[in-house]
Amino acid sequence: MRRTALLASAALLTALLPLTAAATASGAADPPPVPVDRFEGEVPFAAQPAEGIFTWGGDADDPPALRLADRPDAPEGAKVLTGTYDISGYGGFTHDFAAGEPAHDWSAHRGIRFWWEGRNTGKKIAFEIKDGGANGEASELWTTSFTDDFTGWKQVEIPFGDFTYRTDYQPVGGIDHVLGLTAMWGYALTLPTGVQGSFAMDDVELYGRADQSLRASVTTGATVLPVKEGGTATLKIGVSTTGAAPLDEPVTVAYATGGGTAEPGKDYTSASGTLTFPAGTASGASRTVQVHTLKDKAAESAESIPVTLTVTGAKAPAETPQVVIDAHGLPYLDSRLPVKKRVADLLGRMSLAEKAGQMTQAERGAVGTGGDITAYGLGSLLSGGGSTPTPNTPAAWARMIDDFQLRTRATRLQIPLIYGVDAVHGHNNLVGATVMPHNIGIGATRDPALAERTGAVTAAEVRATGIPWDFAPCLCVSRDERWGRSYESFGEDPALVESMETVVQGLQGRADGKDLGRGDKVLATAKHFAGDGGTAYGSSTTGSYKIDQGVTRVTRQELEAVHLAPFATAVDRGVGTVMPSYSSLDVIGDGQGPVKMHARADMINGVLKGRMGFDGFVISDWNAIDQLPGDYGSHVRTSVNAGVDMMMVPYSYKDFTGTLTAEAGAGRITAKRIDDAVSRILTQKFRLGLFEHPYADTRGAAAIGSPAHRAVARRAAAESQVLLKNSGGLLPLKKSQKVYVAGSNADDIGNQTGGWTVTWQGAPGNTVPGTTVLQGMREAGGNVTWSKDASAPTGGYDVGVVVVGETPYAEGVGDVGNGHSLSLTAADQAAVDKVCAAMKCVVLIVSGRPQLIGDRLDGIDALVASWLPGTEGEGVADVLYGKRPFTGQLPVTWPRSEAQLPVNVGDTSYDPQYPYGWGLTTLTRVPDGGAAELRALGRAAAAAERTGSARTGRELVAEARLIVQRAAGQRITEALSKPFADADHLLLTGRYGKAVEKLAQAYRAA
């Protein structure tokens, strides 16, 4: 009887104990494994909302090919999952659980494991699990990786404690940042890029028994605590638990200072002790530890005081926190000294490793919470397209960058980071920012003052989130609209590109760099040096790209006149950085053949830095040095010696810093070259005021997406609209008219903003706050009926507006022939045909480049090139309803057929659908007269040219252009097109008299 009672009491005690304690008391073994995937066919190849395995990738050829294969050596069962891959961007596969059923509870287990057939590639393979949220595609991602450094089958075990919150991408912006394990939706693997490979996998299962260290963690308020010499640092030590539950067991934290570069007794007073958090302590509870520093009179670099924590009963912090006594009293820290002296003093104190760190730029997603910023002395971080904090808000951006910047305080010299981002049409990575028209639309405005204002708005919104550096503007001269980056160009004429470079002043302020320290200015980047817009179709060797990153083959004269001229202007405007192109340059007659721009010392050192006098620094493009021939040492040596000062090596920064140090140590890169590169980088950091103010100045954050900023974008959208045809004066519309609106791009903000919007490639749908064209028309007071596919009845309407065009893309992914074309989709064609057959119609083409519309042109009454107008669809409505006139002009030639391409102003044979510079107007009186009036305008324009009256000259040429367009109507012949396009080029180069002469020639051909 006593024995039975004792056993009952023990059983009750075991039930009440925490899981780990109960296991110990009872001696219970780990629970049996729980299968997740056996790959015997029980889980289909399918996607959400059904349960299934599916592949994904950056472009069409990136998703791996999967199958279930019979294998006699299968670790479990008869089949295994096998696959092949050849990934240029990113790719992998996912197993999602069914969205219509409850999520799975993994919280009772220690981790997840699976069998992997190693190929000994040495490559890391990312493994992530999906926690919480509505389903597998709306969950929180937690990631880790394993290395394929073995051969044959091996069971890979991953404790849940090894997973970290994914910082480079979250599908729903994150949920609670806690790995709860109680609502799991599956897992995913990301396969290696840049190599062809195959894999085999089997038997994914949950293993082991959970313990408190998976549910409880010790946290520190900060990993780095800077303090002025003589001050006191306060370290906050706390506990947190999954689901905010109280502690099941006590947690103790023993702490002790020591082991850093600061000396106890001389630089600080030692501190040690033990903190106890009893069982039942609430999640979030904290204690503090103080470290007192001592003051002396010596100037010193920064000194570190690690605070070692020994944790019992919970997961210890991933890093040892450290108090840092700030550097002080050194000349480079004296803001009263000239920048040149500060640079010289700092450079003289730096080791080779520290210099290598300054020449290195990593991706934010690669450095996690930022420990490697300190370890490798990194000089720069960037956010690639779509690499955003969670949540994607101004405050989160600023907080993230401040956290990264804090890591630099733990380095000896405390050199701040310079953080860069591709804000190519507004702060386009940030949800809620003002998104401008892409550059092709800005080029269509022919309004340099407006271009400068768009740059100023972009700079203010970028800097307000803590970012001092923008990888913009793109100064490419787009010579072939099949190029997937053509919308990043202001146009096909170098004179037009040069005229729009006022955007540099909008971004940076004055050319001497004295405005860079302001809270509303950023360092600009002229890209891509040089010739990226001139690559030949079919010359690319990058994946499935057709033209992007290909070869530009030109004479020396063409190179100078077309592709180098915009960079000379940028240098004159004081642009702070320049980015070389991925493309190769083949200068006819120089005997070198095609050479990658990152290897062209003659162009970077010789032309850019030498002849043009560029005194900023050169930043490489994303992993661009990997495209150079030879081994990695050769990549580094060649690019640095060619004049590249900072290397964008997003995920290979460790390899780069090590290789650069080795190459310099071996004398293959000189100390003089290293010092030149680092001096250029430090100069810009000093000019930006980063040494005095390294953290985000968020005072301007309230203006992000503000009405004032959106008003600039709205005006830019309006001025970018190019009216190509307007039979019978159909435009502007009247508010009294009943308007039937159709087409795929009328009500799609994602298509309207295009690529480089929140993510690299952009996406259709409701991706950002803004106003679509349809919403803009409604807000303008229009009497509008909407039918996307034109399926609604078409009777009883005065006019139809069909908004068609492209879906988003970026870079070579958007090359024509790589899944894209210049033709409207079948659905768009059907909408145009149906609406235009039923009523008078206006067709708006929302696209990054011209679309082939000639076969439907006769049935269209009014045609508008809307480009990619950004978030402010009201700007498009403003010109449609006559609040503002149509004033835009074609920044590129509009071809009749793809066979004509490339076709550009200045070509000997030139017979397009619409010539460069074409653009009808509304609300503006076209001058009376014909040939005689043109002769008079020509004389007046020549006089304006002689007297330097630029504004008068431009106005006179504009009047002559309107006369020619009225006379031509839609009868646009080669005899008219060539002089008409030439006139616009002459106008942009200030030759007003000659421009009118050309227009008179075009008039005679009309």
Active site residues: 621, 811
Q: What is the dihedral of CA 138, 419, 507, 503, to 10 degrees?
A: -70
**What span, in angstroms and rounded, lies between the C-alpha atoms of 303 and 262?**
5
Task: Show the DSSP H helices in 161-313 as ranges.
Answer: 212-215
**What span, in angstroms and rounded, lies between the C-alpha atoms of 620 and 625?**
8
For 692-761, the DSSP string reads T--S--GGGGGGTT-HHHHHHHHHHHHHH-EEEEEGGG-PSP-TTSEEEEESTTTT-HHHHH-SSBSBSS
Residues 6+ apart with CB under 8 A from 610: none
Whether the Cβ atoms of residue 552 and residue 531 lie closer than 8 Å to each other: yes
Q: Hey, is 404 helix, strand or coil?
A: helix
CA-nearest of 880, 874, 807, 881 to 846 is 807
**What span, in angstroms and rounded, lies between the C-alpha atoms of 695 and 685?**
13
**What span, in angstroms and rounded, lies between the C-alpha atoms of 469 and 576?**
9
Could you tell me the two tokens for 392?
């994607």
Task: Classify residue 370 as exposed, middle or buried by CB count within 10 Å of its CB (0-12, 13-18, 19+).
Answer: buried
Q: Hey, is 604 helix, strand or coil?
A: helix
Hunting for tokens 């009887």 — which residue is that?
1
Whether the Cβ atoms of residue 37 and residue 96 lie closer than 8 Å to each other: no
Question: Beta strands 124-131 and 79-86: pairing type?
Answer: unpaired
How distant, in Å, are the alpha carbons of 497, 572, 578, 605, 608 from that of 612? 18, 8, 12, 10, 5
Whether the Cβ atoms of residue 713 and residue 855 lie closer than 8 Å to each other: no
**What span, in angstroms and rounded, lies between the C-alpha atoms of 183 and 139?**
9
Q: Hey, is 147 helix, strand or coil?
A: strand
CA-nearest of 526, 563, 532, 559 to 548 is 532
Q: Rounded to a whole number, what is the distance in angstroms from the first to the last CA of the chain?
A: 115
- What single letter denotes the amino acid at residue 834? K
